[in-house]
Amino acid sequence: MDKQGTQFFSKGISRGTKIGRKNPIFISGLLLAALVSPLTGFAANEEPRAIIDRLQESLIEAMKGGADIGFTGRYKQLEPVVLGTHRIKSIARVALGRYWKDLTVEEQDRFLEKLSILSVSGYASRFNKYQGEHFEVVSEETGKRGRKIIKSDLYLKDGDTIPLVYILSQSGGEWKIINVIAKGVSDLALKRAEYTSIMSTDGYAELMERITESIEKIKQKHLDEGT
Amino acid sequence: MNPNKSHKFDNRSPFSRNLPTVASLAILALTFAGCATTKHPNGDPFEKWNRSFHSLNHKLDNALLKPVAEGYAKSIPKPVQHGVSNFFSNLGEINVILNDLLQGKFEDGLDDFGRLLANSTLGIGGILDVATPMGLPKHKEDFGQTLGVWGVGEGAYLTLPILGPSTIRDEPARLVTSVTSVLFYVNEAAITFPLGVLGTISRRAELINSIKEVDEAAVDRYIFVREAYRGDRMFQIYDGDPPFEDLFEDDFDFEDEEEAE
């Protein structure tokens, strides 16, 4: 919010001006904002940095929930955030490479659904307990095709850091994450290498089965360990 | 130990004693060097063999090394584990210094020499890492990275029996790492063998969580390990700042098309 906006807002609330106390449009606007923001958790057309902040704040929240809310609780908590901050369809297309266009629309949809579950499960599994970790954004650059590259560090309890690089693209006016690179290892490169290899040797049905197995394995591990 | 036998063994130079290792690595490097120049779509012309060795290594790890490393991680107090890890890290410091210099990182080389001195003396033979709090953090350098910095391509991906993932470019690094370690010049197998075993267990124990994550996240374990290994090596060669956006650039064309619609 700019300086003028801040002054207007503070006058409206703390000094009890005419606008703040009497204007029904202003008050209903505030109420609407208060009602809507906890549901969606974000405004439309978020800036790239805001997308990363939202994801990372949600991950810390999920970690704090830890074993108390369990894997299922973290999954439910993170699902809208992960799906709202990642451009899963673009990730899916690139991960399947030339095989994407060979699939029927139904097959593409089923793959998107599985990939979404796998992505949320991955976050809910890795960020499963809080021991004082925190994120810090290091830099924000503009890359090829106007993409944003946001570099960030995850500070662990023992003082070690994991450097993370988020690559975001803009489509339909919305910024979303298309790749995450953790300590030099690109999530998109991993997925693409794995999925295209399975598609070339065993085909779509096998790929779907292996992703389903992976999802089940993650879930079962946390159920067994009570985490 | 039979002292006569030991004495006879001691007469040989370190190179003679390690001749089988040196020779096998040299043969391996020469065998694969020709293949390294052959272009392959995913840089993995030996995938069939690699997959077999990957599977073998995974089975051996599950049967032998993993249970021992998990037992070590659970039963040995953490400060002792850190001490063991620091000791082996300190043994590798000469290798780091050599590669600092070969890459033209003279300041890092000086710092790492300071690390070696501080940890070997004040740190009681490297058991304590006193250098990091003194402002001399550990650097990770090896000859594979040096070759990368010099512009040598990574060559074919390899999975070696027992030794694990590597590339043609990284193979000579094993030799350089060996000959720059003090243990290479110790003539007593009664010292080097148990230390070698302890070092292997310690390294495996440090990887418990990472390997768990691989087992959990991988849809195709072999490919996952291959790509993670390559990504990690790039990360090290570029000192944590590798180029990112070169990946699959053309495959994002659809985003431009969608945007234009």
CB A207 within 8 A of CB A198: yes
Alpha-carbon gap: B18 to the closest alpha carbon of chain A (Å): 35
Residue labelled with tokens 């070092």: B199
CB A150 within 8 A of CB A49: yes
Mean pLDDT of all residues in chain B? Answer: 85
Residue labelled with tokens 């003090």: B182
pTM for this entry? 0.79
pLDDT interval class at B259 (50, 70, 90): low
DSSP, res A86: B
**Nearest by CB: B220 against A93, A170, A197:** A197
Q: Please tell me which residue, A45 or A184, carries the higher pLDDT value.
A: A184
**Partners of B157 in the β-ladder:** B167
Nearest chain B residue to A214 by CA distance is: B219
The tokens of B112 are what?
A: 């790492």
Cα B18 from Cα B192, distance rounded (Å): 12
DSSP, res A138: E
What mean pLDDT is predicted for residues B113-129?
A: 96
pLDDT interval class at A160 (50, 70, 90): confident
ipTM of the prediction: 0.76
Q: What domains sit in chain A, N to C, each tagged with a CATH number?
A: 3-9+31-206 (3.10.450.710)
First and final C-alpha spacing in chain A: 40
pLDDT value at residue B37: 44
Closest by Cα among B54, B95, B70, B56 to B204: B70
pLDDT tens digits, A168-191: 999 888 999 999 999 999 999 999
Alpha-carbon gap: B245 to the closest alpha carbon of chain A (Å): 7
Chain A residues within 8 A (CB-CB) of chain B?
A: 90, 93-94, 97, 122, 125-126, 143-145, 147, 149, 163, 165, 167, 169-172, 178-179, 181, 183-186, 188-190, 192-195, 197-198, 207, 210-211, 214, 217-218, 221
Partners of residue B227 in chain A, C-beta under 8 Å: 185-186, 189-190, 193-194
pLDDT interval class at B22 (50, 70, 90): low
What mean pLDDT is predicted for residues A142-170?
A: 91
Q: Please tell me which residue, B10 or A131, carries the higher pLDDT value.
A: A131
Q: What is the enclosing helix (H) or strand (E) of A141? A: strand A134-142
Alpha-carbon gap: B97 to the closest alpha carbon of chain A (Å): 22
Q: What is the enclosing helix (H) or strand (E) of B173? A: helix B171-179
CB B99 within 8 A of CB B142: yes
Q: Please tell me which residue, B12 or A99, carries the higher pLDDT value.
A: A99
Q: Which of A185, A188, A195, A227 to mutate to test the interface with B (most CBs of B within 10 A)?
A: A185
Share of chain B above pLDDT 90, in %: 71
pLDDT tens digits, B36-48: 444 677 889 999 9
Q: How many CB atoms lie within 10 A of CB A73?
A: 15
pLDDT value at residue B254: 67
Partners of residue B248 in chain A, C-beta under 8 Å: 94, 97, 188-189, 192
Share of chain B above pLDDT 70, in %: 79
pLDDT value at residue A19: 36
pLDDT tens digits, B151-195: 999 999 999 999 999 999 999 999 999 999 999 999 899 999 999
Nearest chain B residue to A218 by CA distance is: B216
Cα A177 from Cα B225, distance rounded (Å): 24
pLDDT value at residue B244: 72
pLDDT tens digits, B81-114: 999 999 999 999 999 999 999 999 999 999 999 9
Residue A211 has pLDDT above 90, yes or no: yes
